[in-house]
A and B are shown apart, each in its own frame.
Chain A
């Protein structure tokens, strides 16, 4: 099965590489990371602040229908090269995951296809593994649990 999004996380390492090919021109892909309104749309969070430049800050916040904050994250942009590269820190509020360093590289494949290479470095291998397990914690994928039931019934082949 050809996958559009790939994740590479070697055991015992403290980083993750996420790559994705988009059916979008490079400029549009980059815009999705540059424009606060667009970021809000696809991330599904409020963008309180996003200064797309070197030394700029950003701040995301998601609230539930009663106005309680359920997610918050912020960071600083260290490198901002339009249509090429963004380097920034990322920290989730009230979480034990620490500060992570994110390096985004944008690449043109053809006029209508572009690629994103996202390299995330955590403070430690243990923290990285905790983040990788987040989707379980939030029960994002019920079907995955069912799958594991079946795998557990498989003989060790």
Chain B
């Protein structure tokens, strides 16, 4: 399972939620975002990477700097009321898949 690409995993982290709130109103560079946290810069970069992989953030090249802005479309899509239902089935089917993979090797 690629947990890092799981949107809910991404959103479960308080620092990452704080980052999303920060960039909700304006796009910011990685440096400007990091300045808002006590955590080390590489840690913030890691969070930005995860949020970008989940498509919750989008990168934009501004000259030599990369700035980040929120992907409103993706945020709304994920927050849609269908998503928990889909997630519930996804979890259930993942379970089915792992049960059957074990069953296969037992045989």
Contact = CB atoms under 8 A, between A and B. Distances in A.
Partners in one complex: yes
Interface of A: 1, 3-7, 9, 18, 20, 22-24, 28-29, 31-32, 38, 41-44, 116, 131-136, 140-141, 143-144, 146-148, 150-151, 153-155, 157
Nearest to B95: A42
A141 B103 contact: no
B8 A144 contact: yes
Nearest to B90: A5
Given A3-B90, A42-B99, 8 more contacts: A1-B54, A20-B90, A24-B101, A38-B103, A135-B85, A143-B11, A144-B8, A144-B87
A5 B93 CA distance: 8
B87 A29 contact: no
Interface in B47-87: 54-55, 70, 72, 75-76, 78-79, 81-87
A71 B51 CA distance: 37
B90 A151 contact: no
Contact of B84 (A6, A31, A144, A154): A144
B30 interface: no
Nearest to B88: A135
A83 B81 CA distance: 33
Contacts of A143: 8-9, 11-12
21 contacts: A1-B54, A1-B55, A18-B86, A23-B97, A24-B97, A28-B104, A29-B100, A38-B99, A134-B85, A135-B84, A136-B84, A141-B8, A141-B84, A141-B88, A143-B12, A146-B12, A147-B11, A147-B79, A150-B24, A151-B75, A154-B24
Nearest to A43: B92
